[in-house]
Amino acid sequence: MATPNTDLMGQSWKDLSGRWGLAIGTMIVFFLITAVSGIIPLASLILSGPLAVGYAIFNLRLARKQNADLSNIFDGFNNFGTNLAAFLLMLIYIIGWTLLLIIPGIIKAMSYSQTFFIIAQEPNIGANEAIEKSMKMMDGYKLKYFGLQLLFMLCASLTAVTLFIGMFWVAPWMQVTLAKFHDDISEKVSLEGLGENTILNI
């Protein structure tokens, strides 16, 4: 049985003890780069995949109590082609499903949610293969993932009493918890049909 979401949140909070400055600072840099690229034509499409994989590497390191550094967010550019392809394929698939109905699009987005974590651990995996592996991993865990998102939406809404300053803590907490969620279901899901699922020391 997978670890309860509230336990994952508690573990992540403890893991961030003494590392909040690093987590918050890296999050700010990541979102600033993402925001700036969003106003430059095509830059967001080109940079989003590699940056997402780099941020996944950073958060996996925090979740595993390994050495983490701001520079990790640029590690995704080491495998630029695969990471770009994964982002574009996910975007195309999600848009395609959303054009049918909103709900199928949301469900597919959750199915693809582990893609960047998978690539972060398996740099030699193909883009479409990573997406397919994410879909198999999330089979039976989409409701749990949705529940985790709702818990953090509640936490985010509560930061209104701090004029949303609390989001500087909630956002990195959420990212590390999502990394823990990935590791947790990686250990729990059946390996049948998933292939090798080795957790690398990234």
Whole-structure pTM value: 0.90
Residue 45 falls within a domain, yes or no? yes
CB-based contact 183:60 (threshold 8 Å): yes
What is the model's pLDDT at position 202? 36
Confidence band, pLDDT 50/70/90 cuts, at residue 34: very high
Q: Could you tell me how far CA 172 lies from the centroid of its own chain?
A: 11
d(Cα 136, Cα 114) in Å, to the nearest integer? 10
What is the model's pLDDT at position 196? 42
Average per-residue pLDDT in the chain? 92
| Half-sphere exposure (Cβ direction) of 54: Cα atoms closer than 13 Å | 25
Residue 160 falls within a domain, yes or no? yes
Residue 103 falls within a domain, yes or no? yes
Q: How many domains, in total, are found in the chain?
A: 1
What is the model's pLDDT at position 200? 36
What is the model's pLDDT at position 47? 97
Residue 197 falls within a domain, yes or no? no
pLDDT per residue as tens digits for the range 143-175: 999 999 999 999 999 999 999 999 999 999 999
Residue 201 falls within a domain, yes or no? no
Residue 16 falls within a domain, yes or no? yes
Mean pLDDT of 122-138: 96
Confidence band, pLDDT 50/70/90 cuts, at residue 68: very high
Domain holding 32, by residue range, is: 5-188
What is the model's pLDDT at position 60? 98
Q: Beta-carbon neighbour count of residue 71 at 10 Å?
A: 10
What is the model's pLDDT at position 115? 98
Three state DSSP letters for the chain: CCCCHHHHHHHHHHHCCCCHHHHHHHHHHHHHHHHHHHCCCCHHHHHHHHHHHHHHHHHHHHHCCCCCCHHHHHHHHHHHHHHHHHHHHHHHHHHHHHHHCHHHHHHHHHHCCCHHHHHHHCCCCCHHHHHHHHHHHCCCCHHHHHHHHHHHHHHHHHHHHHCCCCHHHHHHHHHHHHHHHHHHHHHHCCCCCCCCCCCCCC
Q: Beta-carbon neighbour count of residue 33 at 10 Å?
A: 17
Residue 199 falls within a domain, yes or no? no
Residue 57 falls within a domain, yes or no? yes
